[in-house]
Each structure stands twice: as structure tokens, then as C-alpha cells.
Amino acid sequence: MKVRDPRAIARVAAAGALFGRGLCRTLSFAYRPLTRYLNNDRPELLEGGRFVYTTWHEYVFLPTWLYSRADTAWLIGQHADGEISAQISRRLGASVVRGSSTRGGTAALLRMLRQPGGTRHFGITVDGPRGPRRQFQLGAV
């Protein structure tokens, strides 16, 4: 069933963000970013660098919640389901740019790169809008 009514999408997004925020607060996690290991060897990689956060579609909300900063934008598809994801991500505090490898991806990437004083880091899902699940697609490159 496709949800197309803007009010229904807003309600689903509000419920999804509430559920997601509650779920994320119950999680305990640890991660070791690559920069931790590179810091001693090559500190120039950290200064003023740009990072690309990548994730699979099914795990998109946890990284979106963890890395929601003003200088990080997440690329979310322009399809109807993407609107729900975009609204949930915005409610979690993420900056969102709409586009995908099949519709508007190039324009979205250019918008992210050209935002004055805005986006430095990007987040994308690498398994593509049409799948197959957990297989890296060239659209992410």
C-alpha cells in the first residue's frame, strides 16, 4: 500500500521519528572510525576533510540519527516512500537532499556540493533504490 496523502505521510513520519528516537536511545553501541587509526599516522586527513557516510537501506536510520549534524546531508530518493524517510530523517535532526541514482541524483549531489557554508559530509545508501539488497551499486560512486 502506497501512502500518498501529505497529512498521512506527516503522521507516519511523526510516529516513525518517535519510535526511532526511542529505539536509538535504548541501543548501546561502539564503533571505531577509520580516522582513529589514521590520526597518529596521517593527521592531515582529518583537518578540513570531507567524509562520505555509507550504509545499507535497512540500516539508514541509525547512522542518520548518529551523524545528524548541520554540516552533514543525507541523500534520500524522490519516490513516495522516500518522502516518509526524508520527513523522519528531518525530525531526527538530519539535513536531507532528495535524489537517487535513477532520478535527480546528479542534481542532488551538485546541490550538496554547492551549498555555501553548508554541507561538508554526505550520507548515502549504497545498495541502490531498486536493489538487490546489500549489493553495492555504482550509483553510489
> pLDDT band at 107, cuts 50/70/90?
confident
Strands (E), 22-140: 52-55, 72-76, 95-98, 121-125
pLDDT higher than 70, residue 105: yes
More confident site: 75 or 130: 75
- Please answer whether residues 93 and 66 qualify as being in contact, where contact means their C-beta atoms are separated by less than 8 angstroms: no
Q: What percent of the chain has pLDDT over 90?
A: 1
- Edge-to-edge, what's the strand order for the sheet holding 72-76? 52-55, 121-125, 72-76, 95-98
In tens, the pLDDT along 54-93 reads 888 877 777 777 777 777 788 888 877 788 888 888 888 8
Q: Alpha-carbon distance 88 to 65, whole Å?
A: 10
> pLDDT band at 27, cuts 50/70/90?
confident
> pLDDT band at 6, cuts 50/70/90?
confident
CA angle (36, 41, 47) in 5-degree steps: 70
Q: What percent of the chain has pLDDT over 70?
A: 74
> pLDDT band at 46, cuts 50/70/90?
low
Global pTM exceeds 0.75 = no
